[in-house]
C-alpha cells in the first residue's frame, strides 16, 4: 500500500529471499545438505527474515490502528476485513458489503451515477433518503465512513422530528403507513408519554382512565389494520408497534388500578418515557433518574421484544447502571431473555449494540480492541456468557473497565488507554450476561463484580408473550386465546421436570404462535375472533 512503503519493500525482500531458499531446497531435497549448503549464512538469513516480518507486522498494526483511531467502528472489524476495505478505496461501492459489521442495520447505500450518496437501506430493504448529499470521492475511506455515520445520525433525527410533528396532522393508521418503522415506534411513544402526563396533570386518575379507553380503541384499530392488505415493511412495522402499544396500554391500566394521580409516582417513572423538549430540540429517554439521549442509530424495520414485567425489571436495572456509569449484568438460565433484553434496550435507545459470544480462548488483545472501539464510538457491547472467559483475562478486564468507567464518570473527552490516545463518548457502556452454575463457568473477581449492576432473569411470562404475539397477527381476543394456551400448556406439563417443563413451554408457545401466524389471513381468523 502507498501508506506503507517501507513495510511493502521489506516484505517483498523477504518474499524474494524465501522463494530463492525454496528453489534451492527443491533442487537439493536432502535435508542435511540443504540446511548446511551455505554454512551459517542460511540460518542468519532466516533469522533476519523473521525479524523483518516482525517489523512488517508491527508497521501494519500501527497503520490499522491509525485508521481505527479516525473511524472508531473499525475496531469492531477483524484485520482481514479492514484490509479488504482499505484495498478497495477506489471503488467506494464495494465497501457496502461491510456496512452491517459497523452499523446496526444499515446494509446498503444509495449511490448516484456520480458516486454521491443520497440514501440508505436497512436489512429489510427499507429506504430513507438522507438529509444531504455526501461525496466520498478523493477521500480516505475512514474519513467518508465517518461522514456516513454523521449523516445517518442527522437523517434519523430529522425524519423522527418530522414524524412526531406529522402525528398530529394525520389519522394514526395513515401515519403508520407513511413513516419509517423506527419513527413510528418512537414517535408514538413520544406522544403516548405526553398524553399520559397531560391527562394525569389535568384530571388525575380520571384522566388516566380516559387515556386507557383511548388506548384500547387505538389498539383494536391497529389490530384491524393488520388484516388489511399491507406491504411486507408495513406488516413488520405493525408487528413491532403492537408489541409497544400493548405494553403502553398495560402500563396505563396499572396506573388506573393503583389510582395514580401524580406523574412522579414510581409506577410511571419506572417506565421508559420519551420526551422531545422544545428547548433542547432532541429526543431523550427517561427511566427513574436516568435521562439518556436518544442515539439516532438507524435500526431499520426490525422486530421488538415482547415487554413483560421481567423485561421492565431488566430495563430499570440497566438504565440505572447507565446513570451510575456502571455496566449491567443480567444473569439466569438459558433462554430467559438476558441478551435479547439488552439488545432490545439498545433498540429502544437507538444505540449500536455489538453482541459477542465469549469463550475460554479469548485473549486480552481482542477485548482491548473492543473497548477502544466502544469508548471512541459511544456504542454498547454485550458479552454473552461472560463467565466463560479465563480468570487471568477477567482480572485484566477489571482494571481496564475501572479506568474506562472512571474516565466516563469524570466526563473525560479523551483518554490514554492501552498506549493509544482515544476520544471518549459518554454514551458507551458494557453489558455482560451469565449462566451461573453451569460447568466450565468462572466466578467473577470481586473487583469486576463491583463494576456491574446485577439483575436476575427467571421464567418468562408465556401468557403475556402469547397475547402480544397473537395481537400482532390480527386476533382481537388475543388475551382469551393466550390464557387458553397457557392453561393447556400447564395441564400437559405437570408431570415434567423443571427443565423439561421450560423446554416444553417454549416449544408450545412457538407452536401456537406459528399456527396463529399461518391462520392470520385465513377465513378461520374471523371465527376465532368471535369465539
Side-chain half-sphere of 255: how many Cα atoms within 13 Å?
Answer: 32
Model pLDDT for residues 265-321, shown as the tens digit of each residue: 999 999 999 999 888 888 999 998 899 999 999 998 888 888 888 888 999 999 999
- Interstrand relation of 429-432 and 380-384 (parallel, antiparallel or unpaired): parallel
Q: To the nearest whole percent, how much of the chain has pLDDT over 70?
A: 87
What three-state secondary structure class fits 363? coil
C-alpha cell at 446: 470481586
Give pLDDT < 70 ranges for the chain: 1-5, 37-40, 437-442, 460-461, 472, 486-531
Give the pLDDT of residue 351: 92
Nearest to 179 by CA among 191, 189, 166, 169: 166
The C-alpha atoms of residue 95 and residue 81 are separated, in whole angstroms, by: 10
Give the pLDDT of residue 251: 92
Give the pLDDT of residue 521: 42
Model pLDDT for residues 445-493, shown as the tens digit of each residue: 888 889 999 988 877 667 777 777 777 677 777 777 777 776 666 665 5
C-alpha cell at 32: 542435511
Amino acid at each position: 500500500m502507498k501508506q506503507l512503503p517501507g513495510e511493502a519493500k521489506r516484505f517483498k525482500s523477504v518474499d524474494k529471499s524465501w522463494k530463492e531458499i525454496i528453489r534451492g531446497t527443491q533442487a537439493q531435497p536432502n535435508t542435511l545438505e540443504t540446511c548446511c549448503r551455505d554454512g551459517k549464512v542460511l540460518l542468519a538469513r532466516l533469522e533476519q527474515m523473521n525479524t523483518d516480518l516482525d517489523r512488517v507486522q508491527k508497521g501494519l498494526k500501527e497503520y490499522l490502528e491509525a485508521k481505527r483511531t479516525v473511524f472508531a467502528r473499525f475496531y469492531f472489524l477483524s484485520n482481514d476485513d479492514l484490509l479488504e476495505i482499505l484495498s478497495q478505496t477506489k471503488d467506494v461501492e464495494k465497501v457496502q458489503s461491510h456496512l452491517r459489521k459497523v452499523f446496526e442495520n444499515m446494509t446498503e447505500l444509495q449511490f448516484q451515477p456520480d458516486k454521491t450518496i443520497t440514501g440508505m437501506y436497512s436489512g429489510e430493504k427499507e429506504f430513507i433518503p438522507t438529509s444531504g448529499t455526501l461525496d466520498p470521492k478523493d477521500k480516505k475511506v475512514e474519513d467518508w465512513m465517518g461522514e456516513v455515520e454523521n449523516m445517518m445520525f442527522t437523517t434519523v433525527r430529522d425524519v423522527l422530528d418530522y414524524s412526531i410533528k406529522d402525528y398530529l396532522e394525520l389519522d394514526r393508521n395513515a401515519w403508520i403507513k407513511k413513516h419509517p418503522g423506527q419513527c413510528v415506534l418512537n414517535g408514538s411513544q413520544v406522544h403516548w408519554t405526553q398524553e399520559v402526563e397531560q391527562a394525569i396533570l389535568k384530571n388525575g386518575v380520571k384522566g388516566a382512565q380516559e387515556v386507557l379507553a383511548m388506548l384500547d380503541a387505538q389498539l383494536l384499530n391497529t389490530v384491524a389494520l393488520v388484516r388489511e392488505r399491507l406491504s411486507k415493511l408495513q406488516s413488520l412495522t405493525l408487528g413491532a408497534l403492537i408489541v409497544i402499544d400493548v405494553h403502553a396500554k398495560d402500563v396505563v391500566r396499572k396506573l388506573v388500578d393503583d389510582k395514580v394521580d401524580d406523574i412522579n409516582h414510581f409506577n410511571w417513572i419506572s417506565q421508559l418515557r420519551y420526551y422531545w423538549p422544545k428547548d433542547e430540540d432532541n429526543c431523550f429517554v427517561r427511566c427513574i433518574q436516568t435521562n439518556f439521549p436518544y442515539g439516532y442509530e438507524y435500526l431499520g424495520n426490525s422486530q421488538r421484544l415482547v415487554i413483560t414485567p421481567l423485561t421492565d425489571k431488566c430495563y430499570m436495572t440497566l438504565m440505572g447502571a447507565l446513570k451510575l456509569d456502571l455496566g449491567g449484568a443480567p444473569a439466569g438460565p438459558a433462554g430467559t431473555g438476558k441478551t435479547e433484553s439488552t439488545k432490545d434496550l439498545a433498540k429502544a435507545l437507538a444505540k449500536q449494540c455489538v453482541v459477542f459470544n465469549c469463550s475460554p480462548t479469548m485473549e486480552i488483545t481482542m477485548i482491548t480492541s473492543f473497548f477502544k472501539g466502544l469508548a471512541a464510538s459511544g456504542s454498547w457491547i454485550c458479552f454473552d456468557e461472560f463467565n466463560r472467559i479465563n480468570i487471568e483475562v477477567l482480572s485484566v478486564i477489571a482494571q481496564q473497565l475501572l479506568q474506562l468507567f472512571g474516565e466516563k464518570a469524570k466526563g473525560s473527552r479523551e483518554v490514554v488507554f492501552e498506549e493509544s490516545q482515544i476520544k471518549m463518548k459518554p454514551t458507551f457502556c458494557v453489558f455482560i450476561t451469565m449462566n451461573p452454575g453451569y460447568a466450565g463457568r468462572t466466578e467473577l473477581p470481586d473487583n469486576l463484580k463491583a463494576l456491574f449492576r446485577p439483575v436476575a432473569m427467571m421464567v418468562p411470562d408465556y401468557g403475556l408473550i402469547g397475547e402480544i404475539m397473537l395481537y400482532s397477527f390480527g386476533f382481537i381476543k388475543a388475551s382469551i386465546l393466550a390464557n387458553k394456551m397457557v392453561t393447556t400448556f400447564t395441564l400437559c406439563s405437570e408431570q415434567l421436570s423443571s427443565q423439561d417443563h421450560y423446554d416444553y413451554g417454549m416449544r408450545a408457545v412457538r407452536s401456537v404462535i406459528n399456527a396463529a401466524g399461518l391462520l392470520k389471513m385465513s377465513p378461520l381468523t374471523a371465527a376465532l375472533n368471535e369465539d
